[in-house]
Amino acid sequence: MNRAQHRIYRMIERFEENLNNMPIGEYFQVPMKITAKYPDVTNITCRFSEKRKYEEIYIKFDVPIELNCIILSYLYNDTYGEYQIIVPNDYPFKPTYWLLIDSNDPKYKKAEIYQNVQYRNSWEPSISFEKDILYMIHSIMIDQ
């Protein structure tokens, strides 16, 4: 394991300790489900998913209220974005690169572009793995 890999491994360990078995979304206090998988430090995958209500709510007045409640419970849109975090060999002196693997909403592609441009313009070696995920959450939430 080289120095960059060792450093990111330590950052992941510290982040896991800070989480203390709490879900990542709850830790950052955001209304989304976030999972991170890292079988090894060069292959990090993060998945962001959230339920958003449709903009328009449909209510039928000629049906019973129980049926309306059932209909309204289905008026959610599940969106998700799955990213691979590419850690360069000369990390932390070069930024990580976020690559969108899969998504069902164009806002996740915009977030990927925003995140990578932001890091290209302003990167600091002191950015930890925890802050990296937090900045991506910010990039995703900007579009809303």
**From first to last of its 144 residues, what are the pLDDT tens digits of the chain?**
788 788 888 988 999 999 999 999 999 999 889 999 988 777 789 999 987 655 555 566 677 778 777 777 766 667 889 999 988 888 888 898 999 999 988 899 999 999 999 999 988 888 888 999 999 999 988 865
In a domain, 67, yes or no: no
Give the global pTM. Answer: 0.78
Q: 136: domain CATH number?
A: 3.10.110.10
What is the pLDDT at residue 131?
A: 92
What is the pLDDT at residue 52?
A: 63
Full domain range(s) for residue 84: 3-52+78-142
In a domain, 58, yes or no: no
Position of tokens 């995958």? 45
Total domains in the chain come to 1
In a domain, 84, yes or no: yes
Q: Where are the beta strands (DSSP E) in the chain?
A: 33-40, 43-53, 76-86, 97-103
In a domain, 59, yes or no: no
Contacts of 47 (CB under 8 A, 6+ apart): 33, 34, 35, 36, 80, 81, 82, 83
In a domain, 22, yes or no: yes
Are 143 and 112 a contacting pair, CB within 8 Å?
Answer: no
What is the pLDDT at residue 53?
A: 57
In a domain, 93, yes or no: yes
In a domain, 64, yes or no: no
